[in-house]
């Protein structure tokens, strides 16, 4: 397995004038309480910090994710997709894309090093990543698992080693927790479905305590033309640089990225990986992310979807997903017969 851990400095990013910072969605109780007790000097420091973060957030991304999300990168479409996939997720997704070894490799940098830690697993689905948190030594009573798919959560509730875990249905972009609640935030295989990845990462900042750590495990974008076409048809495959930009913009510090992947891929990444990296970052100060965003782009219960259009989106998006079920099989058998050294070794 090819993995590396590389510290990535949060470099200041220039903000184009055409992208002003949007006003935030009011969280009336928290905001009012904060304003009542803070001094003018504290308010000035907070404003300066927001301006610095806004500059980072305004950097020119290679792709605009909010303008045209992929076919399954929508709340309702993803929910329908997982209503079916949940039935076989642990049998066909994990063996090819998200193995036990990969899970342990990805979580090794999350600093799950004390049984006293309170951990939230966001987009935890059937609880496979949550099982890794339990295996790391965190008591189930200190763990919360949240996902928008009731079918996925039903699978998680059936797992004996997750007995005692608090399991909730909810939205990764609008978590039902107070600020500064958890010591660790973990999310694996979820960001690819978020219409606004920046918003979800800001939420991860909000819900962990100062000094706490977020660990985001997710895909990496392919460079191979066929795989890139299929990926962009299906769901979000960020580049490694974009992960760093989002965490920087949200206000995190000590941002690091660790590459992961199935061992039989032999480090090949040009086709993209559904689980390709583990990004960790630390929250420096209490409260909400200093990056202020406008209203959510999607609120699933308020979306009016044309049934035919909805069906076509799910079917076509699933075609892109099917390509990524074929790829690991191809790499597995190629690994059995392809030379490991010599001029053909890197012609993967």
How far is C-alpha 230 from the geometric centre of its chain's CA atoms? 20
Domains delineated in the chain: 5-12+71-337 (3.40.50.150)
Among 87-91, 223-227, 275-279, 303-307, which is the least confidently predicted range?
Answer: 303-307
Task: Please tell me whether residue 259 adopts helix, strand or coil conformation.
Answer: strand
Question: For the purposes of burial, counting CB atoms within 10 Å of the CB of 128, is it exposed (0-12), middle (13-18) or buried (19 or more)?
Answer: buried
pTM of the model: 0.80
Does the pLDDT of residue 16 top 80, yes or no?
Answer: no
The owner of tokens 């992929």 is 70
What distance in Å separates the CA atoms of residue 215 and residue 201, rounded to the nearest whole number?
Answer: 10
Non-local (6+) Cβ contacts of 89 within 8 A are 82, 125, 126, 152, 155
pLDDT tens per residue, range 128-173: 999 999 999 999 999 999 999 999 999 999 999 999 999 999 999 9
Burial tier of 137 (Cβ tally within 10 Å: 0-12, 13-18, 19+): exposed
List all residues 6 or more positions away from 161 whose beta carbon is below 8 Å from its beta carbon: 131, 134, 140
| Model confidence band, residue 314 (pLDDT cutoffs 50, 70, 90) | confident
Is residue 281 a contact partner of residue 255, using CB atoms and an 8 Å limit? yes
Would the CA dihedral through 121, 123, 127, 128 be positive or negative? negative
pLDDT at 336 over 80: yes
273, 245 contact by CB (below 8 A): no
Distances (CA, A) of 77 to 18, 325, 339: 31, 19, 41
Dist CA 55 CA 227 (whole Å): 33
Nearest CA among 217, 255, 204, 233 for reference residue 125: 217
Percentage above 70 pLDDT, the chain? 77
Residue 238 has pLDDT above 80, yes or no: yes
């Amino acid at each position: 397995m090819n993995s590396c851990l590389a510290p990535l400095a949060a470099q200041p990013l220039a903000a184009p004038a055409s992208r002003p910072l949007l006003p935030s969605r009011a969280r009336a109780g928290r905001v009012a309480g904060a304003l009542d007790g803070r001094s003018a000097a504290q308010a000035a420091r907070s404003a300066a910090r927001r301006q610095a973060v806004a500059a980072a957030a305004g950097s020119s991304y290679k792709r605009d994710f909010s303008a045209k999300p992929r076919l399954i990168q929508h709340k309702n479409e993803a929910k329908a997709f997982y209503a079916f996939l949940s039935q076989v997720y642990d049998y066909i997704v994990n063996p090819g894309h998200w193995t036990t070894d990969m899970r342990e490799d990805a979580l090794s940098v999350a600093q799950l090093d004390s049984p006293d830690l309170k951990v939230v697993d966001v987009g935890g689905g059937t609880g496979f990543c949550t099982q890794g948190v339990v295996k790391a030594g965190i008591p189930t009573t200190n763990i919360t698992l949240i996902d928008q798919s009731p079918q996925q959560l039903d699978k998680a509730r059936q797992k004996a080693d997750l007995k005692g875990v608090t399991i909730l249905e909810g939205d990764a972009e609008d978590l039902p927790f107070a600020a500064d609640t958890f010591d660790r935030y973990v999310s694996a295989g979820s960001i690819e479905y978020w219409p606004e990845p920046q918003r979800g990462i800001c939420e991860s900042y909000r819900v962990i305590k100062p000094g706490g750590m977020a660990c985001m495990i997710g895909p990496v974008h392919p460079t191979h033309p066929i795989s890139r076409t299929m990926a962009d048809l299906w769901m979000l495959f960020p580049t490694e640089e974009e992960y760093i930009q989002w965490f920087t913009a949200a206000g995190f510090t000590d941002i690091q990225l660790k590459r992961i992947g199935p061992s039989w891929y032999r480090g090949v990444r040009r086709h993209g990986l559904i689980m390709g990296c583990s990004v960790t970052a630390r929250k420096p100060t209490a409260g909400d992310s200093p990056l202020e965003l406008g209203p959510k782009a999607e609120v699933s219960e308020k979306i009016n979807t044309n049934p035919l259009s909805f069906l076509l989106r799910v079917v076509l998006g699933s075609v892109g997903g099917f390509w990524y079920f074929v790829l690991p099989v191809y790499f597995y058998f190629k690994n059995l017969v392809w030379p490991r050294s010599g001029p053909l070794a890197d012609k993967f």
